[in-house]
Amino acid sequence: WLMAGASGQDAFGSAQALLLSVPGRIALFLVTLELFYHLCNGVRHLVWDSGRGFELRAIYAGGWTVVGTSLILTLALWTWGLA
């Protein structure tokens, strides 16, 4: 997208049309989800670095918390962005 913007108006228009299409929006949604998942899992690893959360039950709870929080943050960002 940045390269298309630097390449000129026609290239930027083509990139913008691709990103605003349904497959483009799905791809952007998945990239946003991946970024939030990576962020939340990093926080989980920081908790592990403190020596907590190594019980099997806590590991499963933390994993599902990361997945749920990632989904909530992604949906919140997209709701805010589309409003």
Closest CA to 64 of 41, 82, 43: 41
- All domains of the chain in start order, with CATH: 2-82 (1.20.1300.10)
H helical segments located in the chain: 2-7, 9-20, 22-49, 56-82
What band does 50 get if pLDDT is binned at 50, 70 and 90? very high
Interatomic CA distance for residues 62 and 43, integer angstroms: 10
In this predicted structure, what is the pLDDT of residue 4?
Answer: 84
pLDDT digits (tens, 9 = 90+) for 56-81: 999 999 999 999 999 999 999 999 99
Query: What separation in angstroms does the CA of 9 have from each of 3, 19, 34?
Result: 11, 15, 30
In this predicted structure, what is the pLDDT of residue 40?
Answer: 98
* 1 has pLDDT over 90: no
Is 14 in contact with 5 (CB distance < 8 Å)? no
